[in-house]
Amino acid sequence: MKVDDFDFDLPHEYIAQRPTYPRDHARLLIGNDLSDKIIADLPACLNKNDILVFNDTQVIPARLLGKHNESKVEVTLHLQLSKNTWRVFAKPAKKLCIDHTIKFADEFCASVINKGNGGEATLRFNKSGSDLMKALETFGKIPLPPYIKREGLSDEQDKKDYQTLFAKKKGAVAAPTAGLHFTQNTMTALENKGIKYITLTLHVGAGTFLPVKVDNTDDHVMHPEWGEITPRTAQIINTTKASGGRIVAVGTTSMRLLETATDAGGILHPYSNETNIFITPGYHFRMVDVLLTNFHLPRSTLFMLVCAFAGSSRIKKIYKTAMERDYRFYSYGDATLLQKSGLT
């Protein structure tokens, strides 16, 4: 398919620069009937036997500013390879060579051990494990998407705003943004209606920010991200599905891992590995019935995913309606609730 088929005009003013407060007052556009709700209304939009699947990854301060000699270098971590080794995106990468050292602070540095394409490099840090995480907490910044344009890098408010209620397992460099809308009040209301929830883990990588640079979707390669579904989680989801409950993916990250780990017979298996699944129209969904997701950018892999899930013509109508009604887009924006469709 042509990437141009997933293009639309999105003026910059539609891209939210800060989230809605309180979180569960973010707007919610219901895909089926185009009705306007807010996230706090979600319990009334779901059925008693449904189960919500959240991503419990925690965003780390993965953006570092350093120097090689006197040249400034910006590094964004995106995939952990070992306790002290990460794949990163570096700017400007062309000035870095293997064995170069990047200094981030007096006793915090990394060596370049490999170089890839598109600004990618592999760094080995002089700290590992919990010591490396402490250094990131001290010297790193939350890596906000490039479409959030403010003076400087992320601020202290972003450290709170860019984490979900469920964030427990450190490793993401981008938030699973659909989960940002949930508050304890919303979860209590869901529980009171008998709607269950469960978590999985997908450490969202910086590749989620990268534009699609090819003309045809067949030529695009997704960056791998590490995910885990425990045996208990798989069992609960399979039992819910078998009893007629709907599987509601909260965000595209939850959806992508669920679909990765589900076999052709519709059975979800425990999983602990990388995934680079790329979902485009024509894909047969094996597990997810309902998707709660934010509004995505033109030509993005996530916009392609929602077109695959709800049908391209339906999604284009939903997005047109959202812009007409001044919904806010992207990571800090509003959300839509989508039903699976056989149409593409």
Q: What is the pLDDT of residues 121-177, one digit of tens each?
A: 999 999 999 999 999 999 999 888 878 876 555 677 888 899 999 999 999 999 999
Please name the helix (run of DSSP H) or strand (run of DSSP E) that holds residue 37, with its range, or none: strand 36-38
Got the DSSP string for 271-312?
EEEEE-----TT---SS--EEEEEPPPTT-HHHHHHHHHH-H
pLDDT given for residue 146 in this prediction: 78
Distance (Å) of CA 275 to CA 29, 203, 213, 259, 305: 29, 10, 21, 10, 15
Among the residue ranges 46-50, 57-61, 141-145, 237-241, the one predicted with the least confidence is 141-145
88 SS3 class: strand
What domains can be seen in the chain, in order of their start residue?
3-59+161-339 (3.40.1780.10), 63-138 (2.40.10.240)
Q: Which two tokens stand for residue 236?
A: 């609960």
Residue with the two structure tokens 């019935």: 289
Q: What is the pLDDT of residues 239-298, one digit of tens each?
A: 999 999 999 999 999 999 999 999 999 999 999 999 999 999 999 999 999 999 999 999
Signed CA dihedral, 15, 87, 256, 210: sign only: positive
Q: What is the pLDDT of residues 171-229, one digit of tens each?
A: 999 999 999 999 999 999 999 999 999 999 999 987 777 788 899 999 998 889 999 99
Task: Specify whether the CB–CB gap between 142 and 162 falls below 8 A.
Answer: yes
H-state helical runs in the chain: 42-45, 129-139, 156-161, 184-192, 231-242, 252-260, 301-310, 312-324
26-39: average pLDDT: 98
Q: Which two tokens stand for residue 137?
A: 């907490």
Q: Look up the pTM and report it.
A: 0.92
Q: Which two tokens stand for residue 180?
A: 């940002």
How far apart are the C-alpha atoms of 297 and 305, rounded to whole Å? 12
Assign 114 a pLDDT band (cuts: 50, 70, 90): very high
If one counts every other C-beta atom within 10 angstroms of the C-beta of residue 273, the result is 11
Tell me the pLDDT of the chain averaged across its residues: 94
Assign 342 a pLDDT band (cuts: 50, 70, 90): low
Among the residue ranges 57-61, 82-86, 144-148, 178-182, the one predicted with the least confidence is 144-148
> Considering only CA atoms, which of 138, 180, 146 is closest in space to residue 161?
180
Query: What residue type is assigned to position 338 of the chain?
Result: L
Backbone angles phi, psi at 55, to 5 degrees: -100, 120
How crowded is the C-beta side of 21, counted as CA atoms within 13 Å? 6
Radius of gyration of the chain (CA): 20
Backbone angles phi, psi at 107, to 5 degrees: -125, 30
Query: What residue type is assigned to position 186 of the chain?
Result: T
